[in-house]
Amino acid sequence: MKQLLTFTIVAIITASCGTHQGDWYQIQELDRSTYIISEPLSSQRNSCFLIIGEQEAILLDAGTGENKMQSMAQVADSLSPVPITLLLSHFHFDHIGGASDFKAIGLPALPFLMNRLSADSILALTKTDVLSDDTLCLKISKLYSVGTAIDLGKRKIQVLHTPGHSKASITLIDHARRYIFTGDLIYNDLLLINNCEAYLQSINTIDAHSNSGYRIFGSHGTAEVNYKHLAKVKKAILAYQAGDGSFDSIKNLCFFGTPKEVYQKGDVAFMVGYTDVFDH
Q: Which residues bind Zn ion (CB under 5 A)?
A: 92, 184
The answer to whether residues 243 and 273 touch, using CB atoms and an 8 Å cutoff, is no
Q: How far is the CB of 184 from Zn ion (least distance, A)?
A: 4
Give the span between the Cα atoms of 105 and 103, in whole angstroms.
7
Q: How far is the CB of 92 from Zn ion (least distance, A)?
A: 3
DSSP annotation of 21 reads -
Please, which residue, 33 or 166, has the CB nearer to Zn ion?
166
Q: How far is the CB of 211 from Zn ion (least distance, A)?
A: 26
> Which amino acid type is present at position 68?
K
Please, which residue, 184 or 224, has the CB nearer to Zn ion?
184
Please, which residue, 92 or 155, has the CB nearer to Zn ion?
92
Give the span between the Cα atoms of 225 and 78, in whole angstroms.
27
Residue nearest to Zn ion (CB): 92
Phi, psi of 73 (to 5 degrees): -60, -40
Mode of pairing for the β-strands spanning 8-13 and 25-31: antiparallel
Q: How far is the CB of 193 from Zn ion (least distance, A)?
A: 11
Q: How far is the CB of 202 from Zn ion (least distance, A)?
A: 13
β partners of residue 252? 261
Please, which residue, 132 or 141, has the CB nearer to Zn ion?
132
The answer to whether residues 122 and 113 touch, using CB atoms and an 8 Å cutoff, is no
Q: How far is the CB of 55 from Zn ion (least distance, A)?
A: 30
DSSP letter for each residue of 39-53: -TTSTT-BEEEEEE-
Please, which residue, 79 or 191, has the CB nearer to Zn ion?
191
Q: How far is the CB of 126 from Zn ion (least distance, A)?
A: 15
Please, which residue, 53 or 218, has the CB nearer to Zn ion?
218
Please, which residue, 88 or 236, has the CB nearer to Zn ion?
88
Please, which residue, 152 or 193, has the CB nearer to Zn ion?
193
Helix (H, G, I), strand (E, B) or coil at 272: strand
Q: Using alpha carbons, select from 201, 206, 188, 196 the residue that is nearest to residue 269.
A: 188
Give the span between the Cα atoms of 230 and 181, in whole angstroms.
13
DSSP letter for each residue of 223-260: SEE-THHHHHHHHHHHHHHHT----SEEEEEEETTEEE
Q: How far is the CB of 183 from Zn ion (least distance, A)?
A: 7
The answer to whether residues 181 and 48 touch, using CB atoms and an 8 Å cutoff, is no
